[in-house]
């Protein structure tokens, strides 16, 4: 019986962060959980594709620009019964495969995300992560940085990732709904470069402001121009 999980990684000029992401997947390979790793490249000009190919991933090119298009294209090419969408700057904790396997076995009708952590020694890293995890568990709104794992059946049922330039992660988890979403205890340890560049408080408030504007009806096209 084939391994159940296809991992889909959208990437663009990710050579700095990709090796850690890929190496963190080893427990899934060792346990027979992973069927394939698909990197969907968005036109990288660095060593992203070479690094992914060297690690044994299947590298494909998205037909359109934008992370949502990359995610959709990866899902179309994937062969697993389960899909795990993972950002290139996120590395999973060692226990992720054990937690994912248990979820697949026990809750086939539910999607799952991981507990967020930031790869930073700044004291604000834990503060921001704690707020994000509260949002994920209380409101059913995990960040895309937390990964998203769901069965192919559920992915199709909710219509997959939407054709949008921004907030694709929010749209799909809202379609799934809080009652069908579990937050696993394994960590998604995410690169903190943008927070350290902009300042933790400033970046956190900016992200919260963008989400609020989205819920109040601002178009993803306008919001995308405000995000960098």
The answer to whether 58 and 37 are in contact (CB under 8 A) is: yes
Strands 181-191 and 90-92: antiparallel
For 55, list phi and psi in degrees, rounded to 5. Answer: -90, 0
Token duo for residue 43? 């036109």
Evaluate if residue 217 carries a pLDDT over 90.
no
For 184, list phi and psi in degrees, rounded to 5. Answer: -80, 150
Sequence-separated (6 or more) residues with CB below 8 Å from residue 137: 183
For 17, list phi and psi in degrees, rounded to 5. Answer: -105, -20
- Please write the tens of the pLDDT for every residue from 128-171: 999 999 999 999 999 999 999 999 999 999 999 998 877 899 99
pLDDT of residue 166: 75
CA atoms of 1 and 77, how far apart (whole Å): 19
CA atoms of 228 and 225, how far apart (whole Å): 8
Domain boundaries, given as residue ranges, for the chain: 5-226
The answer to whether 84 and 7 are in contact (CB under 8 A) is: yes
pTM of the entire predicted model: 0.94
DSSP-derived letter for residue 31 is T
Evaluate if residue 62 carries a pLDDT over 80.
yes
- Please write the tens of the pLDDT for every residue from 90-138: 999 999 999 999 999 999 999 999 999 999 999 999 999 999 999 999 9
Sequence-separated (6 or more) residues with CB below 8 Å from residue 14: 21, 44, 46, 48, 88, 89
Say whether 24 sits in a helix, a strand or coil: coil
CATH superfamily, with its number, for domain 5-226: Spore Coat Polysaccharide Biosynthesis Protein SpsA; Chain A (3.90.550.10)
Neighbouring C-beta atoms of residue 154, cutoff 10 Å: 17
Helix (H) or strand (E) holding 35: strand 34-41
Say whether 108 sits in a helix, a strand or coil: coil
Helix (H) or strand (E) holding 38: strand 34-41
């Amino acid at each position: 019986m084939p391994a159940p999980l296809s991992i889909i990684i959208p990437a663009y000029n990710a050579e700095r962060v990709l090796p850690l992401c890929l190496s963190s997947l080893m427990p899934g390979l060792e346990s027979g959980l992973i069927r394939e790793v698909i990197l969907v490249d968005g036109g990288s000009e660095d060593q992203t594709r070479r690094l992914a190919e060297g690690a044994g991933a299947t590298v494909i090119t998205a037909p359109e620009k934008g992370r949502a298009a990359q995610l959709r294209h990866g899902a179309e090419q994937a062969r697993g019964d389960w899909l795990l969408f993972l950002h290139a700057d996120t590395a999973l904790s060692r226990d992720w495969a054990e937690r994912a396997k248990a979820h697949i076995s026990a809750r086939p009708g539910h999607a799952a995300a991981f507990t967020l952590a930031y790869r930073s020694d700044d004291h604000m890293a834990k503060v921001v992560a704690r707020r994000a995890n509260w949002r994920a568990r209380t409101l059913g709104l995990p960040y895309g940085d937390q990964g998203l794992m769901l069965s192919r059946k559920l992915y199709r049922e909710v219509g997959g990732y939407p054709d949008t330039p921004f907030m694709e992660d929010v749209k799909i988890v809202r379609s799934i709904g809080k009652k069908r979403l579990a937050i696993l205890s394994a960590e998604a340890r995410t690169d903190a470069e943008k927070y350290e560049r902009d300042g933790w408080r400033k970046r956190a408030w900016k992200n919260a402001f963008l989400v609020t504007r989205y819920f109040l009806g601002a178009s993803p096209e306008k919001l995308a121009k405000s995000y960098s």
